[in-house]
Structure 1
Amino acid sequence: MSRIIVCTFLTLDGVMQAPGATDEDAENGFEHGGWQKPTDDEEVGAAIAGWYEHAEAMLLGRKTYELFASYWPTADPGNPFTERMNSMRKYVASRTLTSVEWQNSTLLEGDVVDAVRKLQASGGGEINVVGSGDLAQTLMGNGLVDEYRLTIHPVVIGTGKRLFAGGAIPTALEPVSVSATKGGTVVGVYRPNGEPSYDSY
């Protein structure tokens, strides 16, 4: 079985929108694009590199696919991520695209939930869901996420798209590893562990 792993950068208040650039995603008037870089450090970079080290493929929604496909094919070949991003297998979930041109990309056909279940059953590697908030929420809502790998950065934005948005299914999470960088970013790996339990003090 392949494992579906959601890899996401979050602000302290849970926003995942447009971490990488000021003009990355201004949907709904979002004005805080590019919030991640000022809080990054070498430890964060090393953690993210580790996320991709054993990944068999990426699973992307349309917006993230188009963003990546416009950047990585011509990115600096000296960047250690460039070759990895271009050579890795990419699965794309979209209701509007009819073709995908980026190297090693495949457009999923039919219902995305059914298609991802087939991917899970087809192999034994890790498939990273990168960005792709709407897709991640669909997968979470259908119990298809096997693991979360999150960097939680020391900044509060207040508005924007959130990974765990309203309507998220209550889920207990088992911490696999959690650490903090010198810059204050929390790097956490968690696995769904059934329903939350409740108690009183």
Structure 2
Amino acid sequence: MKMLFAVVTLLTFFSLKVDGQQADKVSLGVYYETLCPDSIAFITYQLYPTIQSLGLEKINVDLVPFGKASWTESGSTISFSCQHGERECKGNKIQACAKSELDTSALIKFVNCMESASSPDRAGKSCAQKQGLNYTTIENCANGAKGSQLLKEQGVATKSLVPKPNFIPWITVNNQHTSDIQNRALDDLKGLLCDSFPQGATKPSGCK
């Protein structure tokens, strides 16, 4: 009986510890399109510099490349229609595949590199080479059924949002979206994230 009590107490302690760690973090969701000018500006001028400053220890970032695209299915074939055309669908697939292969830090660097290029959809290989990544795996994924399935998953996540996106990029903080969150994110993402930690939480040093 004493042993059972000890085990329960220990599990409760670790559960509270894990919950406390999560409570000290901020979650950022970025729903975007690879050829969208507003998405490009947000990623290169807000997201990437902010993560460079604040790091990822206290921030969970989810990049969701889909935006205002749509898809249809015929048997095992998934076809996509993207706001900025077929090239954007390809760029979205590349980044969806990269998301499945890379950790968050490497993914953000890769996406920023692509979005900083004059033709983001064609920059995957050179950006991968700069980071020493295996682009062949990402490219094969993007050109095959796996890439289509991964992009569909990004679409499902985007279309499940409440409220529904009416502007891209669509930003959520701690799984919430408001006009204030959206407007602040586009102009001052760093300030928004620093202000979004719960009271008493230890913020990243870059917030000071």
TM-score bracket, normalised by the shorter chain, equals under 0.3
- The TM-score with structure 2 as length reference comes to 0.27
Q: Which has the larger share of strand?
A: 1
**Between Structure 1 and Structure 2, whose CA radius of gyration is higher?**
2
Q: Which TM-score applies when normalising by structure 1?
A: 0.28
